[in-house]
Amino acid sequence: MRSRLQILLVTVVAALASGFLAGIPAGLLIEKSAVNGSFYLPALSFRPSENFAELIRRLNSNDPLLRLTGYYIYRETGLVDLEFLLKRYEYDDTGIIRKTIIWIAFSERDIKKLSDFYGKIFEISTPELQHVIILNVKKLGSQVYSDFMLKHKIIAR
């Protein structure tokens, strides 16, 4: 009787642990998909929140100030999707919003991905924003900075 109880207890704990470990990445994936616009309804059932719905509404607003606040809300979620940010950077030509996107992207942990992202947006940026991008690339390390400068044929001042 006691061994059955132990087996049952171990099984329940293992099931809970595996559900928890699988649920965290699944939840993050659903949230990221919802913000990108590809998975809205399941995300609301996963995290029924006014703030989450407000984030999506603001990011898709015609008013640049509402979009700007949407980006700040996006930053607070901890979701950093560089493909999404690249599309938004190409779409939104407002200087302050583009600076905000550059700032949000810096939260990416993968330096290679971040450097590639900065390279893609560098080509479509104004000289002022190019300077901001260069300053952010410089923070990634001297080797990344040197490679970036060579790749984009930038002469350091």
Percentage of the chain exceeding pLDDT 70: 78
Give 44's contacts (C-beta < 8 A, 6+ positions apart).
34, 52, 53
Give the angle 107-46-92 at the CA atoms, nearest 5°. 40
Residue 65 reports pLDDT greater than 80: yes
Among 98, 91, 105, CA closest to 137: 105
What integer pLDDT is reported at residue 116 of this predicted model? 93
Residue 80 near residue 110, CB atoms below 8 Å: no
Average pLDDT, the chain: 82
pTM exceeds cut of 0.85: no
Q: Give me the residue spans of the domains in the chain.
A: 1-70, 80-157
Tokens for 135? 């300053």
Cα angle: 84, vertex 35, 47; to 5 degrees: 150
